[in-house]
Amino acid sequence: MRENTAKRKMLAGQPAFGYTLQLGAPLVAEALADCGIDFILLDTQHGTFGSDSIIATLMALSCGHAVPMARVARNDYTLIGRLLDDGALGIIVPLVHTQEDAQAVADACRFPPLGKRSWGWGRARVYGSDYPEWIDRELFVAVQIESAQAVENAEAILSVPGIDGCWIGPGDLALSLGVDPRHAEEDERQQRAIERVLEACRNTGKIAGYAAYSIEDALQRAAQGFRFVTAGSDIGFLLQGAIQGVERLGLTRRVGRGYGA
């Protein structure tokens, strides 16, 4: 059995912090697997992962204590099942707008009678022959609430059995509200929407999550009441370190290729 220590922390009312992997590089996952972070999230929606690199990355994470989780590319029964069969202990599903969308997530993630997950698994065999006896208990399932429609339906979405919590995507949420994501922090519409999701989590007893932009943002969100919090990404840490090095070396920074101003 593999205990989901991140989920245990969240259920105990403590924040669990995670790093996101987008580079599709197993060696990066191996380096971060035992750094002390609660969970590592493979981003198969926006990251550069293929089917082979997903498996290789999950294998690399097995050398450490960070709980392996993954964001699926879309709300798709087969894609969700593949990530579970590969050994993910957390599934995050983007763009869930309605209670029906959330029910489809729960059905794909849970074995009958709780859901409709297909019997059989591949790499998850490494967890032992008792895998089907504990996976529904240890698995963390979160839906992304990242649209105005989802905010309106937040309580109904989170009331679905088998959904453990949510993960707010602030960028897409801002766009759906007509807000520039780069200035969403100062916009009252964005803040009201975030508060409504927090209230829905409190009312349903579910875990509130947030995709923070930085370590400082992650700490602020945890203080606000969020318990499932990502605090940075592999590409972000790489660029931050490189830029700080350039500045300390006194070199002229060339802005371009999306590296920021």
* CA dist., res. 171 & res. 176, Å (int): 9
Strand pairing class (165-168; 16-21): unpaired
Among the listed residues 156, 136, 256, the one whose alpha carbon sits nearest the alpha carbon of residue 197: 156
Q: Which residue among 46, 65, 97, 183 is the active-site one?
A: 46
- Total residues belonging to the chain: 261
Q: Is 259 exposed, middle or buried (0-12, 13-18, 19+ CB in 10 A)?
A: exposed
Q: Is 65 tagged catalytic?
A: no
CA distances (Å), 39 to each of 180, 240, 244, in order? 30, 21, 26
Nearby residues of 235 by Cβ (< 8 Å), 6 or more positions away: 22, 23
Active site residues: 46
